[in-house]
Amino acid sequence: MEQKKFEVLIIGAGISGAALAYELARYTNIESIGILEKYEDVAVLNSKGTSNSQTIHVGDIETNYTLAKAAITKRTAKMVEKYCLQHEYQNEIIFSHQKMALGVGDDEVEFLLHRYEEFSELFPYLEVWDKQKLKEIEPRVVFDENGKERAENIVGVGAKGEWTTVDYGKMTKSFIENAKNEPDKNVELFVNSQVINIQKLPFQGYKVSTKDSEYYTDFVVVNAGAHSLFLAHKMGHGKDFACLPIAGSFYLTRQKILNGKVYMIQNPKLPFAALHGDPDILADGNTRFGPTALVLPKLERYKKGTYLDFFKTLQFDANVMSALWKLLKESDIRNYIFRNFLFELPWFSKQLFLKDVRKIVPSLRIDEYEYAHGFGGVRPQVIDKKQRKLILGEASINTGDGIIFNMTPSPGATSCLGNAERDAKLVCEYLGKSFDQKRFDDELTEGDYCVLAQTISKQQRRVNKIREAMHANEREYYS
């Protein structure tokens, strides 16, 4: 059996694992890095271009983000942008489209305008587009099937000229290629190498076994999607977490319906992504609508097996049942889950989806789109069994003993370089290595994070003053 030794071993060659390999190679003095990938190539599952919305989630049009979360997301999103520009990947890996959050009806319009006031200092490029402006830049969100203006009040808050779209599959490959090109570094990728066992060694380090090889390493980082928790459980870690895989599906048009990205306002009761329309860079810019959300009893989509792995990772017990009951007793969530199940049925799917998607494009016809077979991935939604609830953000288990398990990065691939920065620093601290923060900041960050924190604080104080004034007016009125 072949044996190899590395200072750091990364399990999983998706966007998160590849980003970490790149940062370890470029910004640390770690010399040997191994990457194990279960399948025949990198980015086969959720990082594949057809498995996600291809979006850089900055926090400007994502209406479920708080101001504080948006500031953090903006920083990590800019890393993705700066990396691509540094390597001249414009219109190859990274693309620019107009984008907006669309409010439909008086309540949503009011919400969106208030949000614009709150977020405009953090995102000064945001613009407000009324119905007349939307007729020019995104006409199909305005007119119905009869060519008349839709009756509802609508508004868009968005931007032009920003980098919005990424082929994360190609980006994954670029990370590994650029990591291998770093001088005096040994970076090796091993495909068709499914991890069977991870064993803690008596003194320091780990032995990681595949079918044909054994790998010895001082530190392990598991970026294996839903299987990260599966492997953690095998080693006795993360027993307070369970995994509920949520599959997302899409519908694809036969032509360019929208000129850019149009996102709906998130229902605060739903822990799932709101419906949106995106120009698909892998389908000639035709519009892709979605995602739906379907609870799937397997850990990987469009791959054989993993049903048993799902039940082992779910670890169904009273705590899991309580968390699921909390979800299902909410009528909005219960109806949403049932409706999304029907979206997967051949005859019902297009008929039902038309009603939902017409909130974005009121003139859309049923013959203009099809269920996108083979599109979509699985989000390993983590359940905190102690608190009996879903973890809506990222879940990561740092054992403090030379191994990290990462699940559910949020917001998806956008956070890959930010999460890699965190893990690279943890690896360096554990191994007594150094992280070149200055080089990292010069190449990948935009300004001082403290400036963002000050902006948040200033803007939040402004919002609080407005709210206090509103409450004072209400008290005066009723008195």
For residue 29, count other CB atoms closer than 10 A to its CB: 14
| Domain 2-439 top-level CATH class | alpha beta
Q: Beta strands 276-279 and 2-11: pairing type?
A: unpaired
Q: Beta strands 287-290 and 251-253: pairing type?
A: antiparallel
Query: Which pLDDT score is estimated for 447?
Result: 64
Strand-pairing partners, residue 55, are 165
Q: Beta strands 213-222 and 403-407: pairing type?
A: parallel
CA gap 283, 392 in Å, rounded:
30
Residue ranges of alpha helices (H) inside 202-317 are: 226-234, 307-314
Element (H, E) at 333: helix 331-342
Burial of 391 per CB tally in 10 Å (0-12, 13-18, 19+): middle
Buried b (16+ CB within 10 A) or exposed e, 308-339: ebbeebbbeeebbeebbeebeeeeebeebbeb
Among the listed residues 229, 230, 199, 228, the one whose alpha carbon sits nearest the alpha carbon of residue 216: 199
- In angstroms, how far is the first alpha carbon of the chain from the final one? 83
Query: Which pLDDT score is estimated for 317?
Result: 86
The parts of the chain modelled with pLDDT lower than 50 are 448-457, 460, 467, 470-471, 473-479
Query: Which pLDDT score is estimated for 387?
Result: 85
Query: Which pLDDT score is estimated for 471?
Result: 47
Q: What are the CA-CA distances from residue 177 to residues 21, 169, 172, 173 (Å)?
A: 10, 13, 9, 6
Please tell me the pTM assigned to this model. Answer: 0.90
Is the separation of the CB atoms in 350 and 371 below 8 Å? yes
Query: Which pLDDT score is estimated for 468?
Result: 54
In the chain, where the domains are located: 2-439, 448-478
Is the separation of the CB atoms in 59 and 74 below 8 Å? yes
Query: In terms of residues, how long is the chain?
Result: 479
Question: Cα 74 vs. chain centroid, distance in angstroms?
Answer: 13
**258-295 residue pLDDT tens:** 999 999 998 877 767 789 999 999 999 999 999 888 88
